[in-house]
Amino acid sequence: MADIYAAQLNPGKLEVITEWVKRQDWAVELDLEANPLEKVTAYRFDDPAGEVGIEVHIVASGDQLLQVPMTYRAAPLEGGDDAFVANMEHSILGKRWVYAGMGDPLFRQRLDHTIATASTAAKQYRVDDAGNRQNEITEVAHAFGTGPLPGAGDVEILYRLSPESPAEKSDAGLLLGRWDGQDTNVVLAIMV
């Protein structure tokens, strides 16, 4: 389960995501000035220790749909300099270190676990400033694994999504997702 505070963030998530996307080779042809990123939805994975926020943002630039995984930590990730994205001030939790998900071993482990065990993304709950759960947030993406792919050695997240090419749930080794406005399953990640 993921607890979501009604917090102020500085800089905001979309600002941090935009700056990171601008530096990615796979996004070089995007014109983010003409088509700034817009939030579509997001989903999260659980950190069993409850320490790290693990969130995957689905954003749009014009007609391009992108997926951006991030982790939020209370302290720097040892050995994570190459994956560091930004610092963010959270009005309740304080200073956060933001990392590109695929560069954070915990993100990769949780993504792999979700696919291999046919699990789902974390349920998300609004919490008050003291951390007391209020209600479930349901206006998020539903992401789920399809079970392991025999012989797969690693998992690859898809940064560019293709909603026009939906996958079937029976396919093994996938993370699939859907959300309001996207009624068929979209491939989010693949075991390779």
Q: Are 44 and 56 in contact (CB under 8 A)?
A: yes
C-alpha distances (whole Å) from 63 to each of 36, 66, 164 are 11, 10, 12
Q: What is the C-alpha to C-alpha distance for residues 14 and 50, in angstroms, rounded to an integer?
A: 24
- Residue 149 domain flag: no
Average per-residue pLDDT for the chain: 90
Count how many residues are written for the chain.
192
Q: What is the C-alpha to C-alpha distance for residues 83 and 65, in angstroms, rounded to an integer?
A: 22
- Residue 168 domain flag: no
- Residue 180 domain flag: no
- Residue 49 domain flag: yes
- Residue 166 domain flag: no
- Counted domains in the chain: 1
Q: What is the pLDDT of residue 151?
A: 78
Q: Are 14 and 39 in contact (CB under 8 A)?
A: yes
Q: What is the pLDDT of residues 125-173, one digit of tens each?
A: 787 777 778 887 778 999 999 998 877 778 999 999 987 765 654 578 9
Structural domain of 112: 2-141
- Residue 171 domain flag: no
Residues pairing with 34 in the sheet:
none
Q: What is the pLDDT of residues 73-98, one digit of tens each?
A: 999 999 999 999 999 999 888 899 99
Q: Are 87 and 98 in contact (CB under 8 A)?
A: yes
Is residue 154 exposed (0-12), middle (13-18) or buried (19+ Cβ within 10 Å)?
A: exposed
- Residue 46 domain flag: yes
- Residue 36 domain flag: yes
DSSP secondary structure code for residue 103 in this structure? G
Residue whose C-alpha is closest to residue 16's, from 86, 63, 89: 86
Burial string for 175-189 (b: 16+ CB within 10 Å, else e) reads bbbbbeebeebbbbb
Extended strands (E) in the chain: 2-5, 9-10, 38-45, 53-61, 64-73, 84-90, 94-100, 124-127, 133-137, 142-145, 155-157, 160-161, 174-179, 182-191
Q: What is the pLDDT of residues 102-120, one digit of tens each?
A: 999 999 999 999 999 999 9
Region of 14 (left: φ > 0; alpha: ψ -120 to 50; beta: rest) is: alpha
